[in-house]
Amino acid sequence: MSRVREARVCLLSTGGTITSIYDEDIQAYRPGLAMDALLSSLPPSLGSIEVVRRDLFQLDSANAQPHHWQEIATAVQEMDARRPDLDGFVILHGTDTMVYSASALSFMVQKLGKPIVFTGSQIPASLPWSDGPRNLLDALRVAAWADLAETCIVFNGEIHRGTRAKKIRERALDAFDSVDPTPLGVLAREVVLQESRTRRHPPSPVFDTRLCKDVFLLKVFPGMPPDVISRIIDMGYRGLVIEGFGSGNIPTIENALTGPIREALSSGCTVVMTTQCAFGQADLSLYEVGKAAMDVGALSAYDMTSEAALVKLMWVLGHTDDADEVHTMMMKNYVGEITLSQSVGLRGT
């Protein structure tokens, strides 16, 4: 094999399991491992990568809030301006809310021309059998040398698009999966990438961290009282993502949701229907109980994940209140979060 070229990667730490240590006082794990200790677990050949380090915060990702997404995006912007020679970014993050943060960075930082790679671990790196060192090394490889210009999650030897990933396993090392299509790539002897990826390109970065945090994610369940939606609107929420059954279906006889959805839309709240299924998509035209939501004005998320739909709606409502503009932006493919061929039959077309 030919000698790998030297590369420069910015490593941003936000905490998570990968940085966790056992606290005897609380008798539980919490973030606290120093970045030097984490990097010391990697092989000496890492010397071909110059790692520029920056600690942002030490959080369990269950405590991550939308303003933390904005802080991470701002840090990327600052470091990219300070070191334009960087080949990529790696962000250490907890697995519980990683897909939310990766989705947010996908929208907030566009056209960077280089990878933004989220990674973490299922087992604290302070333990000798941790998956953390391998995931970090893989993430550094992708950020340094992969012909990729997307925000992604590198975990257990796979590369997932940030807006297409879900955490589907609580403890297993293969915690994440890509939800239609397949992963962007895998890490083996070489980094093997799908043709569908966005390749590295000359940067023309767009940093835009505007968000409306008044968006609610609601999972429908049998027997759910319809006035839950009214209560959500009374609380001042401007957006509502509803996880329906199957292809986005809702009750229409007992505990019917059509009336409350219509009232929510009339009050100026945007309603987006998605599916509770890990794989598949919302297709409101398939069944009467899905078409009912579409007929009163709810939007379909099509093949967006619930997490990506929630974050995208926050980002869109951070830009506009106009219903037509919101509709247009939600149906636009910005960073591979939605398959345009699925979003047919748009209003006004």
* Complete DSSP assignment for 40-52: TTS-GGGGGEEEE
77 DSSP 8-state letter: H
Neighbours of 231 (CB within 10 A): 11
Its pTM stands at 0.94
Q: Which residue has the tokens 């941790």?
A: 130
Rounded distance between C-alpha atoms, residue 325 and residue 331, angstroms: 10
The torsion defined by the Cα of 253, 256, 258 and 264, in degrees rounded to 10, comes to 170
Residue-wise pLDDT tens digits, 284-322? 988 899 899 999 999 999 999 999 999 999 999 999 999
pLDDT score recorded for residue 173: 95
pLDDT score recorded for residue 211: 98
Q: Work out the pLDDT band at 342, boundaries 50, 70, 90.
A: low
pLDDT score recorded for residue 2: 54
| Region 101-118 average pLDDT | 98
List the catalytic residue out of 74, 111, 167, 291.
167
Per-residue pLDDT for 1 more than 50?
A: no
Cβ(348)–Cβ(339) below 8 Å: no
pLDDT score recorded for residue 181: 77
pLDDT score recorded for residue 347: 37
Query: What phi and psi, each to the nearest 5 degrees, are found at residue 167?
Result: -85, 115
Per-residue pLDDT for 50 more than 90?
A: yes
- Show the tokens assigned to 255: 């505990």
Per-residue pLDDT for 349 more than 70?
A: no
Per-residue pLDDT for 44 more than 80?
A: no
Rounded distance between C-alpha atoms, residue 258 and residue 301, angstroms: 17
Rounded distance between C-alpha atoms, residue 161 and residue 224, angstroms: 33
332 has catalytic annotation:
no
Cβ(301)–Cβ(309) below 8 Å: yes
pLDDT score recorded for residue 36: 87
Hey, which bits of 206-257 come out as E strands?
206-207, 215-219, 239-244
Rounded distance between C-alpha atoms, residue 272 and residue 317, angstroms: 13
List the catalytic residue out of 95, 198, 209, 274.
95
163 DSSP 8-state letter: G
17 has catalytic annotation:
yes
Q: What is the mean pLDDT of the chain?
A: 93
List the catalytic residue out of 60, 80, 87, 96.
96
List the catalytic residue out of 14, 17, 19, 209.
17
Domains of the chain: 7-207 (3.40.50.1170), 215-342 (3.40.50.40)
| Region 192-200 average pLDDT | 94
pLDDT score recorded for residue 345: 42
Cα distances (angstroms) measured from residue 125 to each of 34, 118, 260:
10, 16, 48
| Region 183-211 average pLDDT | 95
| Region 332-348 average pLDDT | 71
pLDDT score recorded for residue 348: 35
Q: Which residue has the tokens 């199957």?
A: 246
pLDDT score recorded for residue 20: 93
3-state SS assignment for residue 94: coil
Per-residue pLDDT for 43 more than 70?
A: yes
Q: Is 348 left (phi over 0), alpha (psi -120 to 50) or beta?
A: left
Rounded distance between C-alpha atoms, residue 297 and residue 303, angstroms: 18
Rounded distance between C-alpha atoms, residue 158 and residue 186, angstroms: 4
Q: Work out the pLDDT band at 343, boundaries 50, 70, 90.
A: low
Percentage with pLDDT > 70 across the chain: 96
119 has catalytic annotation:
no
**How many alpha carbons lie under 13 Å from residue 142 in its C-beta half-sphere?**
37
Rounded distance between C-alpha atoms, residue 123 and residue 326, angstroms: 41
Residue-wise pLDDT tens digits, 233-274? 999 999 999 999 999 999 999 999 999 999 999 999 999 999
